[in-house]
Every structure is written in C-alpha cells, then in structure tokens.
Amino acid sequence: MIRFEHVTKRYPGGTTAVRDLTFEVAAGELVTLVGPSGCGKTTTMKMVNRLIEPSEGRILVDGEDVMAGDPVELRRRIGYVIQSTGLFPHRTVLENTATVPHLLGWPRARRRERARELLDLVGLDPCVYGDRYPDQLSGGQRQRVGVARALAADPPVLLMDEPFGAVDPVVRERLQSEFLKLQAAVRKTVLFVTHDIEEAVLLGDRIAVFGDGVIEQFAPPTEVLGAPASAYVADFVGADRGLKRLSVTAIEEDDLERPLVVHLDDPAADAAARLRAQGARWAVVLDDADVLHGWVAADSLAAAPDGGEVRAHARRMEAWLPVGASLKQAFAAMLQYDAGWIAVVDETSGHFRGILTPARLHEALRRSIESDAQAVRRADVRLDSVPG
Ligand SMILES: Nc1ncnc2c1ncn2[C@@H]1O[C@H](COP(=O)(O)OP(=O)(O)OP(=O)(O)O)[C@@H](O)[C@H]1O
C-alpha cells in the first residue's frame, strides 16, 4: 500500500535526513517508525503526503507515485494526526471533525452525520462534546478529535506523528489501547512515528527502528525485542527488553493452573470436605453457568453451619482477564488488586479457564524470551483494559 523505493532526502543546508530507504507497508498494516531525535522519522512520514519532497527515489501509495498528481488531492486521501492536533480553535468539535468532508464538498447533513459517527467511534459522545470548542476539552479528548478528524473521509492511509506524545502517561495508555481497538475495526494502513520504543512495540504490527537516516531493523515487535539485528538496535531497545516482552506476550491456556473449583449452590459442608481432602486453603467459585463468581476460603467454609451453601461464604473476584490478554496486563492486575493470582476466563462465554500465578507468569515470560520470534503471534495479544 505504501512503498518506499531508494528514497533519499537532502535538505538545502546539506543535511541528509534519510538515505536510500526501501520498505513497504502492507494494506491494513500498522508500522511504527521509532528512533532517537533527528534520525529522520518525521521526514520519512512527511514525504508520504508530500509535505516534504524526496530528493531521490520514489514513494508509491496504492501503486501511484506521490509526486505524480496534485498534492492537495493526495492529502485528502491520507489522514494525518499530529501531536498538537492542529484543531481549529474557533470551530466546534463537530466542525473540526468534518473538515475534510467539508473540503470534499459533502452536503452538510451527510458530513455532520459522518462527524457524529466518528466521534462515537473514538469514544466521545457527540451530544455532549459535538458543540464544544477545542479549548473546552482535555488533552486526551483533543487527541481523540484529532483521530476522528483524520478518519472522517475514510482515507485508506493514516499518518500519525507522535499523536499521543503530549498527554500524561495514564491518558496515553488509554489512548493507545483505544487506538488499537479502533485500528482492529477500521484496518487502515498506518505509519506511526514515535520516539518511545514501548509505544512502538505495543502498537506496531512491524517496527522500523531508525538509526541515523537509515532503517536498522524492520521486523515484528517480538523479533526486534527477541533478536535485535545489531548492537545499535539492542542498545535502543534497552536492557529491559524482557520486561517489554510482557506487553507482546499473550496468556495461553498452557500457562494456567487449575485450582479446586466449587459452585455457588454446592453445600458448604461438601465443599469444605473437598478442600480439606486436597489440603487447599481456598477454591475458585463458579455460578451454575460455570462463569467466574469469585473465591472461597477453607477457613470460612469450615466454620459454616450445617445446611448452608457456598454462596454464603463466597467473595467476589475482581482480578480477572480473558485468555489472550497480555502478560503485562496480568502483571498490572496482580499489582492493582494486590492479588496472589488472577483468574483467566474465556472472553466470549465468560467460562472460567484457570488461574495465573506469579510463578506461572514468570515461566510464560521465559517461554516468550526463549522462544523464537515466530512463536508469539502478535495477533493473539489483546489489549483490553483490566476490568474493575
Ligand atoms: N527543514 C529542514 N531543513 C534542514 N534540515 C532539516 C529540516 N527538517 C529536518 N532537518 C534535519 O533532518 C534530520 C532529520 O529530522 P527529522 O525531523 O526527520 O527527525 P526525527 O527523527 O523526526 O526527529 P524528532 O524525533 O526530533 O522529531 C535532522 O538532522 C534535522 O535537523
């Protein structure tokens, strides 16, 4: 979808920002460009929508040389999101979102409907926010409007230049995970510039690690983390790349322990006997549809009067995740709930699958680090936020 062929950019002052770049971004793929300041990421991105023109080589978007046609027409087919959002301060959120449809001459009713739809898609209620002005929004909300605006005319290609760079880390994480969900739904071809390797790893189907004007490695995140192509990449990725793998490694069925399970309507005395027989101090409690309810302590069951049910002693479990969530989410949930284990459930049915303990999490991380890059499928990692 986007193809660079031997592209070089020399600025008038003599700086060669990028040298002989050749790479391709497939349709529907999200590629992150990452590297230290001044390595040529922004120059690379801006050559795609011709805000900067290449000195040598060709850039093709959907098979067409970007230098061949009219740049204004080109830019309407390419969504662009930047850190400062570039929203028009004197236009409402709805009007800002409808900027490109407006330029394209869509009738008013159609562009307003499209803008409302897009605001909904990025998590902003158009009835609440549609008539506000940008300075009546938080930084994170402004970024969402920026994304909605870039998507308004449904361009096949999206360029994003540090779009979440200006917000605080908590909002940033939320925007990242929302954007991943959005991208799963809209499947744009995305070039995403960041200087943050964590962000590059989290978002990218593939990562282009830039050195000084050249790409040092172009590979999926697991490969960049697991098998850096050079000392430069290893250094950039950092010594804590094991930790970073947490966010690209999915919880698998094999990682789970199967603890003792009882049901809400089991007689408490029977449940107590089963726990005693197995020397268990607690058991997972499910409802009659095998959906996770929580857990129950052996002590509490042992003290139960005759005739009662497990239900009277069960406690709710807040720390749970679906199979396929990342190890990083599991770790975060353990910390958030101060839990010694977290429950893992089937995402669609809610059926209990097992529990993840710190020891199993550690094993899963080792498996991920030791496995070759192909072993972990990026598509298996989901980034829903921790429920609770
Ligand atoms: N208009 C310009 N004229 C001259 N040199 C420029 C121009 N724009 C960028 N450069 C130089 O080209 C090189 C690459 O810049 P570029 O903005 O592409 O890097 P970057 O990786 O995006 O950096 P940052 O993360 O700091 O934005 C730098 O050395 C920069 O100083």
Going from the Cα of 43 to the center of ligand 1, the distance in angstroms, rounded, reads: 6
Q: What is the mean pLDDT of residues 303-311?
A: 83
User: What angle in degrees, to the nearest 10, is found between the helix axes of 139-151 and 169-186?
Assistant: 20
Burial class (CB in 10 A: 0-12, 13-18, 19+), 197: buried
Q: Which of 291, 352, 371, 359 is nearest to 330 (CA)?
A: 359
Range of the domain at 163: 2-247
Q: Are 110 and 84 in contact (CB under 8 A)?
A: no
pLDDT confidence of residue 19 = 95
Structure confidence at residue 239 as a pLDDT band (50, 70, 90): low
- 220 assigned to some structural domain: yes
Q: What is the mean pLDDT of residues 305-315?
A: 87
Residue nearest to atom 2 of ligand 1 (CA): 11
Q: What does residue 292 show for φ and ψ, rounded to 5 degrees? A: -60, 130
Instruction: Say if residue 208 is in the same domain as residue 266.
Output: no
Structure confidence at residue 177 as a pLDDT band (50, 70, 90): confident
Who contacts 366 (Cβ-Cβ below 8 Å, separation ≥6)?
Answer: none
**Is residue 2 predicted with pLDDT exceeding 80?**
yes
Region of poorest pLDDT, from 3-17, 48-62, 127-141, 234-248:
234-248
pLDDT confidence of residue 190 = 94
Structure confidence at residue 209 as a pLDDT band (50, 70, 90): very high
Instruction: Say if residue 295 is in the same domain as residue 275.
Output: yes
Instruction: Say if residue 19 is in the same domain as residue 157.
Output: yes
pLDDT confidence of residue 40 = 93
Task: Quick: pLDDT tens for 25-65.
Answer: 999 999 999 998 889 999 999 999 999 999 999 999 999 99
Assigned token pair, 321: 């995740």
* 3-state DSSP assignment of residue 104: coil
Q: Distance (Å, rounded) from C-alpha 357 to C-alpha 82?
A: 41
What is the arrangement of strands in the sheet containing 30-34, beginning at the earlier edge strand? 78-82, 157-161, 189-194, 30-34, 206-210, 215-219
Region at 119 (left for phi over 0; alpha for psi -120 to 50; beta for the rest): alpha
Instruction: Say if residue 234 is in the same domain as residue 304.
Output: no
| Residue from 9, 10, 11 whose mutation best tests the ligand 1 pocket (most atoms within 8 A of CB) | 11
Instruction: Say if residue 113 is in the same domain as residue 62.
Output: yes
Q: Could you give the number of structural domains in the chain?
A: 2
| Residue from 41, 44, 196, 199 whose mutation best tests the ligand 1 pocket (most atoms within 8 A of CB) | 41
Going from the Cα of 17 to the center of ligand 1, the distance in angstroms, rounded, reads: 6
**Residues within a 6 A CB radius of ligand 1:** 11, 13, 15, 17, 35, 37-43, 195
Task: Quick: pLDDT tens for 242-288.
Answer: 667 787 788 888 889 999 999 999 999 999 999 999 999 999 999 99
* 3-state DSSP assignment of residue 118: helix
Q: What is the mean pLDDT of residues 154-164?
A: 89
Name the one residue in this structure whose structure tokens are 């909300």.
Answer: 141
pLDDT confidence of residue 240 = 66
Kind and range of the H or E run holding 8:
strand 2-10
Q: What's the whole-number average pLDDT of the chain?
A: 86
pTM score of the predicted model: 0.70
Structure confidence at residue 129 as a pLDDT band (50, 70, 90): very high
Q: What does residue 149 show for φ and ψ, rounded to 5 degrees? A: -65, -40
- 385 assigned to some structural domain: no
Instruction: Say if residue 106 is in the same domain as residue 183.
Output: yes
Q: Distance (Å, rounded) from C-alpha 114 to C-alpha 109?
A: 9
The DSSP secondary-structure symbol of 230 reads: S
Instruction: Say if residue 182 is in the same domain as residue 285.
Output: no
Last residue of a domain, one of 229, 247, 265: 247
Kind and range of the H or E run holding 117:
helix 108-121
- 302 assigned to some structural domain: yes
pLDDT confidence of residue 241 = 67
Residue nearest to atom 3 of ligand 1 (CA): 11
Residue 203 sits in a domain whose CATH number is 3.40.50.300
**Is residue 378 predicted with pLDDT exceeding 60?**
no
Q: Distance (Å, rounded) from C-alpha 362 to C-alpha 347?
A: 23
Task: Quick: pLDDT tens for 266-276.
Answer: 999 999 999 99
**Is residue 334 predicted with pLDDT exceeding 90?**
no
Region of poorest pLDDT, from 68-77, 162-171, 240-249, 254-263:
240-249
- Beta strand residue intervals within 47-173, DSSP E: 56-61, 64-65, 78-82, 157-161
pLDDT confidence of residue 93 = 94
Residue nearest to atom 16 of ligand 1 (CA): 40
pLDDT confidence of residue 248 = 78
pLDDT confidence of residue 60 = 96
User: What angle in degrees, to the nearest 10, is found between the helix axes of 108-121 and 169-186?
Assistant: 120
- 225 assigned to some structural domain: yes
> How large is the ipTM?
0.93
Going from the Cα of 40 to the center of ligand 1, the distance in angstroms, rounded, reads: 6
Atom of ligand 1 nearest to the CA of 39: 21
Going from the Cα of 39 to the center of ligand 1, the distance in angstroms, rounded, reads: 7
Name the one residue in this structure whose structure tokens are 């282009």.
Answer: 208
Q: Which one has a higher pLDDT value, 199 or 385?
A: 199
pLDDT confidence of residue 376 = 42
Instruction: Say if residue 189 is in the same domain as residue 277.
Output: no
Going from the Cα of 37 to the center of ligand 1, the distance in angstroms, rounded, reads: 8
Who contacts 28 (Cβ-Cβ below 8 Å, separation ≥6)?
Answer: 1, 187, 188, 189
pLDDT confidence of residue 273 = 93
Atom of ligand 1 nearest to the CA of 43: 18
pLDDT confidence of residue 277 = 93
Assigned token pair, 387: 């429920």
Q: Distance (Å, rounded) from C-alpha 58 to C-alpha 266?
A: 70
Instruction: Say if residue 270 is in the same domain as residue 189.
Output: no
